[in-house]
Amino acid sequence: MKKLCITLVPMLLLTPCALLAQAEVANEIVLFSEQFDGELDTSWEWLREDPEDWRIADNALEIRARPGDGNSVRNALLRFVPEVTEQALAFEVTVSFIKPLTVQYEQAGLTWYADETPVFKLVHELIDEEHFIIPSRVPTKQKIVRLRLEVDGTRLKAMFYEIDEDEENHTDKEWELVAEQDVEIGKRNHISIQTYHGPEDEDHWMRFSDFKILKISE
């Protein structure tokens, strides 16, 4: 995976009626959980790894945001998802910023890869000095968010909720649906944790915690 040649394809058009809708979550079974409490699980693969730009600390993966975009992202952590052709899945992770974002389009979140090509992203992003969830450019007030990407066949749903810094338990929150659309599904599919459009001369680290893959039961 380290020698992948990535070509970014245009993001698919969003569904306006999905904006700010509330998502219903079905019964679920945890297929995989990464709590970042030691060594990374061997199922992960690095894309353009720089060992000095990632670390595990306080039950979280911290990745330094470097300049670049979806074509050149560094230290993207990918996991192969063979189950996607057999069942509906959900991918979740909590994203937070150690320092305030300062660069236009600086972002962190999840990206879906089909046959080694990034085809969709769900990220917390800085645009014109304000924070948004992309896609659909939903504004956020908190610097901590939980992201959820559901894939069922070729249908994808992107969701999130905000977490207050002082909030100890957030598991009972409702998901906010920000996009629902068809996506490309390849023979080899990956989910990725990544950050890019970081500053040239500052250390900006993004924190990713409590990553899960869930089977959505009918």
pLDDT 10s per residue in the chain (218 long)? Answer: 443 433 333 343 344 333 444 444 558 999 999 999 999 999 999 999 999 999 999 999 999 999 999 989 999 999 999 888 778 999 999 999 999 999 999 999 999 999 999 999 999 999 999 999 999 999 999 999 999 999 998 899 999 999 998 877 787 899 999 999 998 888 899 999 999 999 999 999 999 999 999 999 87
- What's residue 61's pLDDT? 98
- What's residue 26's pLDDT? 52
- What's residue 195's pLDDT? 98
Secondary structure letter of residue 185 according to DSSP: -
* Residue in the structure block whose two tokens are 């598991």: 171
Which token pair is 24? Answer: 């219903």
CATH architecture for segment(s) 26-163+171-216: Sandwich (2.60)
Closest to 210 (Cα-Cα) out of 32, 35, 31? 35
- What's residue 217's pLDDT? 82
Which token pair is 117? Answer: 């090509």
From residue 178, alpha-carbon distances to 54, 60, 64, 107 in Å are 29, 25, 26, 17
